Amino acid sequence: MPLLEVEGVTVRFRGLTAVEDVSFQVEEGEFVAIIGPNGAGKTTLFNVIAGSQRPSRGRVRLGGRIITGLSPAEVSRLGVGRTFQIARPFGSLTVRENILLAAGREQLGRAWASLRLRHHDRAAARATELLLRRTGLEAVAEKRASELNVGELRRLEIARAMAGRPRLLLLDEPAAGLGVDGILPLRGIIGDLRGQGVTVLLVEHHVGFALSLADRVVVLDQGRVIAVGLPDQIRRDPRVIRAYLGEEEQELEPAPAPPAGEAPGPREGGRAEGVGGLA
Amino acid sequence: MSYAVVVGVTVTIYCLLTLGLNVIAGYAGQPHLGQAAFFGLGAYVAAILATRYGLPFWLDLPAALVLTGLVGVLLGAISLRLREDFLAITTIGLNFVMVAIFQYVPFFGGAMGITDVPLPSLGSYTFDNSAFLVVGLLMVCAVALFSAYLERTWFGAVLAAIKDDEVAAAAIGISVPVYKIAAFALGTATAGAAGSLYAHFMSVVTPASFSFSESVVLLSMLVFGGLGTIRGALLGAVVLGVMPEVFRFVSDYRMLLYGVLLLLMVRFQPAGLLGEGSWLHALLRRRRLERGGLGRAAA
């Protein structure tokens, strides 16, 4: 059974159809990217999965269970972690506490358990340390989250979402607004998630970034799925090229230039093989 | 001396009210402009239980605490789903409605309120003002310690998260409404307990004492001292509680003064006098660090 099943999801805002009859699946352990030009409905679709937008039609299943109609908090507790495109840190808490709070979620469901002292939870503290290290936030762990720069905030978003040990991680345009020096470490962190067996659904405007990370790509245009396939197929797909050429020509170039020592060719080849094994 | 004790008891009651308000408005960030109504509810519950049912202070105090907290849960459940600005207006409305109920429902004694609330006693000892002060101070200590504990629990961090960003809080699985209601329950229950102390201390409970303007006074105290901190809640209650008593002229223009102070604080020191990041707090911390640094250098 696929971990995530999106079945015929349609979202209408008054007269406007933002997402129309979108269906796709994400297998356990897979890394899927949803790409598409501006206004393709990526964020709306993302919000439907995360529970913050009710679809007009269709439904979403997580591990076979219908999650459409649940609140974002309920969806989160069922194992869906998410990041926000414009980072939403808990600004008055330190970076460490931001992550710790998400790691201690077992304490948060029951009123009495939440009256325990935070520092008594060793398991949550260990998980927090590990995530601080993996996301390279150790140096700023004691800073208030409101003092972080954009790149650090993006990494905090991922660390916080991962702290809840999600079955499915939803990444909402993590590379948006980052320069090359911000994107490279981020790509490393997101790439590492694969090694940890996390299932990832990435929504990304940045095509090069998405294609370099994903096992499989879903392309949206004007609310519809216009292509599904391996990154290499997507890169050559005329419909995709047309959809992007329609508005932004240069988008199909791998936008974040890979660093000198990192040749894109073999990496992508390796990934395609990996997908073959999965399929 | 005895006058000072009376002022002291009044200030302890203010402290209880601002500490309670601090859980709702400070920790959870919910603008609550009806704290005086819950204070009044606690006072009425205690006064009615004491005068009509002969309950001693030691029993009507917890009763006022629990009952006010329960009403807080009920009203919180209705109003806390609202957006912040609407919540502020709703709690103002709530204050007016509750005062109207005290005033017009005969059960609460009308405009004359409830009189002859007996003095508490402990064995054969009947309370004088000093005893009220001791009990008041003990209650303030208990609530302040509980607040300090709360800050270090998961609950405390959840409230901070909700204050910072409700959407992000929900995204990590926090049931935002449940925690808001819990904060509301704690804050209003504290006001209820303060109400019981007040009813026995004044021996008279009238609707006018719990008007909306009292709620504004309480919020002014908290904002003045430092929203979200225990020291701020206490400092605000002490300074703004004592001022009208020390300077008579202040008492005539009390509301005006509080209004101006509130505006000035929000404009120039939004963290309050002793809040995180305030000018005074930063200065005190620098002093302490310097002293600590020198001490270490000498050693």
DSSP letters, A28-90, are TT-EEEEE-STTSSHHHHHHHHHTSS--SEEEEEETTEE-TT--HHHHHHTTEEE--SS----
Average pLDDT over residues B36-54: 96
Per-residue pLDDT tens for B101-132? Answer: 999 999 999 989 999 999 998 888 989 999 99
Contacts of B184 in chain A (CB under 8 A): none
Contacts of B158 in chain A (CB under 8 A): 101, 108, 114
Among the residue ranges A197-206, A256-265, B77-86, B138-147, the one predicted with the least confidence is: A256-265
Which of A108, A117, A146 is the best mutation test for B, with the most CBs of B within 10 A? A108
Q: Which residue has the higher pLDDT, B238 or A38?
A: B238
Give the amino acid at A12. Answer: R
Per-residue pLDDT at A111: 67
Task: Read off the tokens for B212.
Answer: 């909306």
Residues A72, B174: C-beta atoms closer than 8 Å = no
- Tens digit of each residue's pLDDT, chain A (279 residues): 899 999 999 999 888 899 999 999 999 999 999 998 888 889 899 999 999 999 999 999 999 999 999 999 999 999 999 999 899 999 999 999 999 999 987 777 666 788 888 888 888 999 999 999 999 999 999 999 999 998 899 999 999 999 999 999 999 999 888 888 888 888 889 988 888 889 999 998 888 889 999 999 999 999 999 999 999 999 888 888 888 766 544 445 544 444 444 444 433 333 333 333 332
Per-residue pLDDT at A65: 95
Neighbours of B142 (CB within 10 A): 14
Give the amino acid at A43. Answer: T
Q: Measuring CA to CA, how many Å separate B132 from each of B21, B39, B54, B121, B199?
A: 22, 17, 19, 11, 11
User: How close, in Å, is residue B277 to chain A by CA atoms?
Assistant: 11
Residue B281 binned pLDDT confidence (cut-offs 50, 70, 90) = confident
Q: What's the whole-model pTM score?
A: 0.87
Average pLDDT over residues B19-41: 96
Share of chain B above pLDDT 70, in %: 97
Tell how strand A57-62 and strand A65-66 pair up: antiparallel
The rounded mean pLDDT for chain B is 90
Per-residue pLDDT at A278: 31
Alpha helices in A104-226 (DSSP H): 105-108, 122-134, 150-163, 180-195, 207-213
Q: Per DSSP, what are the bridge partners of residue A26?
A: A4
Residue B97 binned pLDDT confidence (cut-offs 50, 70, 90) = very high
User: Does residue A195 contact residue A11 with C-beta atoms inside 8 Å?
Assistant: no
Q: Any idea which residue has 């911390």 for tokens?
A: B285
B1 contacts: CB under 8 Å, gap ≥ 6 = none
Q: Which of A10-19, B142-151, B284-293 has the highest mean pLDDT?
A: B142-151
Per-residue pLDDT tens for B175-192? Answer: 999 999 999 999 999 999
Three-class SS state of A153: helix
Per-residue pLDDT at A240: 84
A46 interfacial to chain B (CB closer than 8 Å): no
Per-residue pLDDT at A255: 47
Tell how strand A31-35 and strand A199-204 pair up: parallel
Q: Which candidate, A47, A162, A164, A171, places its Cα nearest to that of A109?
A: A164
Chain B residue with Cα closest to A106: B173
Residue B293 binned pLDDT confidence (cut-offs 50, 70, 90) = low
Task: Read off the tokens for A203.
Answer: 């929504």
